[in-house]
Amino acid sequence: MADVSDADTESLDAIDKKRFFQRVRGIVKKINAENVKKLSKSERFIRWLKRIIIFIVVAHLFGIAINYINFKLQFWDNDKNRGAIAVKDDLFDESFSVPEYLNQGWSTRDSLWFYNTSQGSNLIPYDFFMALEQIDSMELFRSNDNIKKYRYLLQKKTYSNPDALPVGFVKDRYKGKEYLGFTCAACHTSQINYTDTKTGEKKAIRIDGAPAQSDLDTFIVDMSDAIQETLNNDAKKQRFIKQVLTRNGLKKIASGGRNYANAKEIEADLQAVSRKLISYNWINRSDTSYGYSRLDAFGRIYNRIVEHVLDIKTLHKVLSEFLAEEKVNDVIAQVNDKTNNSGLHLLDATLSILTYPQQEQFFDRVFSRADGPVSYPYLWDIPYHDYLQWNGIVNNAGPGALGRNVGQVIGVFGTLDWKVNDAFSLSDLLRRDKSTLKSVDFHSSINIRNLYRVENQLKKLISPRWPEDKLGKLDKTRMTRGEKIYKRYCLVCHNTIERTNPKRRITAHISSLENIGTDPKMAVNSISKTAYTGLIQGSHVDVPVGSILLQEKAPVALLVMSTTESVLKTPDIDANFLVRWSNWIYDLFFSYVENPIKSTIKTGDYNPDTEAQPFASLLSYKARPLNGIWATAPYLHNGSVPTLYDLLLPKKKAGDPVNGQYRPDRFKVGSRVFDRNKVGFLTEGYDGFVFDTSQQGNSNSGHEYASGNTALPNGKVLPALNNNQRLDLLEYLKGL
């Protein structure tokens, strides 16, 4: 008999083990089969239902854990200077050392998270922004020398900002592609420059949540011009394409994916982006220039929504007003072909067919000019207000905060993939749109999860205190006298609060236009503009006095309410099914549970809403507590008064003495140099934007309580303050 080798022994052992496990599996299978036979159908159903529920719960908990880990990773950035850098040759010959921060309740990690966290804003492809040259040179559009012209705050490379983007600029991802987007910080982070009185050194203070001094309007116009020049200038175009391909080649090596494979794809997308920006700038044109520190955010949100509710029926109706029927039918046929076969958005497809004169006629019939610019509001205490925005249009209770933020992202280029479906979806039922004749998907790039997190982050932000070690000691004697004046002239509208109290609640005082007397443009625009409802025609919108059914045309305010609610109730399509719905349930649930604000009736001397005039209360402006007001120049809702001292003066009217003190009717804006005496920014001596209060929407009249020209809510007109009293009140305002 032959000897059995070790290898043969191992082989036999393996065969025996295999037979053993086969027998075990057979026995287990037999036992399970016998157990199943003993169970009734209902018992077997319950068993499987339990398994499904357990699987869903485990998957949901796993999703929550992954989201939590990802969220915590976003706070790893702990640069001691929060990414801020010193600048020697800033715009208007300003310079400053590395900016310092005041104690506002945020850590370095908190600030950097706020600056660099995406909210779903997609302006242009990210590679395009990184490769785009300026219109008249080979210098990059994104270079610091160019960016500072628009008064965005420069940053260095940090963990969460590896490309050293300015404050509030971010790389966003949607459907596998990368875009340049904006965060809240782009419009709500400020800087004050000053000279140290002891050393003569030029220094700076960064203030989180304060109104930015940026000029978004000019930034977008110049970017559009640079892209158009890239398309027209072959040398620029070839450099641009090479740079984009190089970046995409590196991405393929690093991650196995890229946005563009060849020059043809790049040029086609560049043309599409150019059309998008040209139409955006034309739609939102204004006879009143914005300048620095302002934007008609409402007007742009309105137009973005109108653009995306556009449907074929509305398109046919509008085109029929200036084109022959045969031409209309031809355009509609081409539009249908482009939207079905090329995936173009309805507006983009239409603009690619119409001539420029035809586009102008189309725009004038569909959109409204964004001609009511306002200052960026400051963000501290925002989560604790009952009503928000300059005219109190947003109820901050329930999901109101998320809805407000959704509208904001729509305004700053959130991608909206809205389309009609053949059948109703769960989202339709959640929106209670069962009465409409069509089902609409409100899918978008908007990151509801991060908007929820931003709102929670803002609960920690507190107003900045006047830094006596930097800007000078406060005169306590003047402050004591100023407090008495404040209680008499200001307290009726501007309540004082405990700025660090987590249980603080803020009731806004709403004053009608006729009572407060300030420029009416923004408030009037909010209710007077109407638009075609298109995709959402037939939807119901709840307002304080009842429910309104959207007809063919409706006030744009109703469109905003309807579409922001619809986006809010549509889960994120950019995530898998389980994550999508678990995140949606979590975010909506906790936005209700964690919101400290309950729905209340507005307070103030405004005209109440009625069934006949459901938006009467919006023809108003709201007052809020003035803690931190020293850091929020310029003043009034439209930025028409440069300093706090000027705000205590009257507007010069016909017949007033020539040698009196009045609010300036023309002044310069754009400087970050702080005027400690008047409390605001420098208004002369540099080549800034000239603010002309005679232009529509720029009036600096009204709110003249300290001058004896505006009556208090009780109808009483107080005597005008003398100069010494104004200085006392100003000192008190500094210390709030």
| DSSP character string of 572-610 | -TTS-HHHHHHHHHHHHHHHHHS--------EEE-PPP-
pLDDT digits (tens, 9 = 90+) for 304-343: 999 999 999 999 999 999 999 999 999 999 999 988 877 7
pLDDT digits (tens, 9 = 90+) for 46-84: 877 887 788 777 766 766 676 666 666 667 888 999 999
* Residue 651 to residue 703: CA distance in whole angstroms: 10
Cis peptide before 373 (omega within 30 of 0): no
Q: What is the share, in percent, of the chain residues with pLDDT greater than 90?
A: 65
* C-alpha Rg value of the chain to the nearest Å: 30
* Residue 683 to residue 674: CA distance in whole angstroms: 10
HEC profile of 714-726: CCCCCCCCCHHHH
Distance in angstroms between the alpha carbons of the first and the last residue of the chain: 104
502-505: long-range pairs with CB below 8 Å, 24+: 502/459, 503/596, 504/381, 504/384, 505/384, 505/386, 505/596, 505/597
* Residue 623 to residue 605: CA distance in whole angstroms: 11
SS3 674: strand
Give bridge partners of residue 365 from the DSSP assignment: none
pLDDT digits (tens, 9 = 90+) for 504-527: 989 889 999 999 999 999 999 999
Other Cβ atoms within 10 Å of 40 Cβ, number: 8
Pairing of strands 509-512, 603-605: parallel
Query: 259 falls in which pLDDT band (50, 70, 90)?
Result: confident
Asked if residue 277 has pLDDT above 90, the reply is yes
Other Cβ atoms within 10 Å of 374 Cβ, number: 27
Asked if residue 588 has pLDDT above 80, the reply is no
0.85 surpassed by pTM: yes
For the stretch 513-522, what's the b/e string if a residue is b when 16 or more beta carbons lie within 10 angstroms of its beta carbon? bebbbbbbbb
| The pLDDT of residue 376 | 95
95: amino acid identity, one letter = S
* Residue 1 to residue 107: CA distance in whole angstroms: 82
Asked if residue 42 has pLDDT above 80, the reply is no
Query: 574 falls in which pLDDT band (50, 70, 90)?
Result: low
pLDDT digits (tens, 9 = 90+) for 348-367: 889 889 998 999 999 999 99
C-alpha torsion sign, points 317, 322, 327, 331? negative
